[in-house]
Structure 1
Amino acid sequence: MKTEKRQISEIPFKNPEAFSAELSAWFSDAARDLPWRSEPSLYRTVVSEFMLQQTQVTTMLPYFDRWMQNLPDFEALANASEETVVKLWEGLGYYTRARNLRKLAIQWVAAPIKPEGAAEWLNYPGVGPYTAAAIASIAQKDYAAVVDGNVVRILARLTNDTRDFPDSTSAVKAFTSTANQLIQTAESPGTHNEAMMELGATLCVRAKPQCLLCPVRDHCEGYKNGDPETLPKITRRKIVRKSIDRLFCVSEGQILLYKRPKDSRRLAGQFELPDFAQLGIKAASGDFIAKKSRGIANERIEESIYQVQLSTDDLKQTSNVPDHHWIKIDDLDKVTMTGPHRKWLSQLLAKQKPGA
Structure 2
Amino acid sequence: MDAGKDITEKTRPALTRKIYQSRLSGVTHPDVIRSRRAFQNTLERWYEQNHRKLPWRTEPSLYRTVVSEFMLQQTQVNTALPYFEDWMRTFPDFETLAAADEESVVKAWEGLGYYRRARNLLALARAYVAADPKPETAAEWLALPGVGPYTSAAIASISHGEEIAVIDGNVVRILTRMLDDHTAYKDASQAARQLTPVANELIAGAANPGDHNQAMMELGATVCTRGNPLCPLCPVQGYCRSHVTGEAELLPIFAKKTTTYRQINRCWVERDGKLLLQKAPSDSPRLAGLYELPEGRLVNSDYESAPLILSKKRGIANELIEERIYALSSDAHVPNSPHLHWVALNQLDGITLSGPHRRWVGEILFSRQPELFPHGGR
Q: Distance in 1 between matches of 2:275 and 2:328?
A: 11
Q: CA deviation at 1:83?
A: 0.4
Q: Which of 252, 270, 280 is equivalent to 1:250?
A: 270
Counterparts of residues 168-207 of structure 1 (less than 5 Å): 168-207=188-227
8 Å Cα contact 1:11/1:181 also seen in 2: no
Q: Which ranges of structure 1 fall in alignment gaps of 5 or more residues?
A: 1-8
Q: What are the superposed Cα offsets for residues 270-292 of structure 1, whole Å, 9 maximum, x if unpaired?
A: 10111112224233231111111
Return closer, same or farther for 1:185/1:223 CA change in 2, 3 Å cut-off.
Answer: farther
Structure 1 counterpart of 2:55: 35
Residue 3 of structure 1 corresponds to: none
2:178 corresponds in structure 1 to 158
Displacement of 1:22: 0.8
Select between 198-207 and 175-184 the one with higher mean Cα deviation: 198-207
Q: Give yes or no for the alignment of 1:235 onto 2:255.
A: yes
Matched, 1:321 2:341: no
SS at match of 1:94: coil
Q: Please give the per-residue CA displacement for 1:213-265, whole angstroms capped at 9, x wherever unaligned.
A: 11111111011111111111111432222111111111110000011111112
Listed as ranges, the gaps of 5+ residues in structure 2 are 1-26, 373-378
What's the % identity of the aligned pairs?
51
Deviations 1:183-241, CA, capped at 9 Å, x for gaps: 11421100000001111111111122111111111111011111111111111432222
Cross-structure match for 2:293: 273
Contact 1:206 1:229 in 2 (8 A): yes
Aligned to 2:18: none
Going from structure 1 to structure 2, the CA distance change for 1:42 and 1:236 (only over 3 Å counts) comes to: farther
| Contact 1:144 1:183 (C-alpha < 8 Å) held by counterparts | yes
From 38, 41, 45, the equivalent of 1:18 is 38
Matched, 1:291 2:311: yes
SS in 2 for 1:115: coil
* C-alpha distance in 1 between matches for 2:160 and 2:231: 32
TM-score (norm 1): 0.93
Q: Which residue of 2 aligns with 1:64?
A: 84
Secondary structure of 1:244 counterpart: strand
Give the C-alpha shift of residue 338 in structure 1.
0.5
Q: What amino acid does structure 2 have at the position aligned with 1:142?
A: E
Match status 1:345 vs 2:365:
no
SS in 1 for 2:338: coil
Separation in structure 2 between the aligned mates of residue 355 and residue 250 of structure 1, nearest angstrom: 18
Cα distance in 2 between the residues matched to 1:18 and 1:311 = 74
1:55 alignment counterpart:
75
Q: Distance in 1 between matches of 2:302 and 2:84?
A: 42
Question: Is 2:170–2:220's contact at 8 Å kept on the other side of the alignment?
Answer: yes
Q: Offset of 1:169 from its aligned partner?
A: 2.0
* Partners of 1:253 and 1:328 within 8 A in 2: yes
Deviation at 1:303, TM superposition (A): 1.1
The 8 Å contact of residues 116 and 285 in structure 2, kept in 1 or not, is answered as no
The amino acid of 1:170's aligned partner reads Q
Q: Could you tell me the TM-score, scaled by structure 2's length?
A: 0.88
Say whether 1:121 aligns with 2:137. no
CA contact (8 A) 2:150 2:167 kept: yes
**Which amino acid is 1:191 matched to?**
D
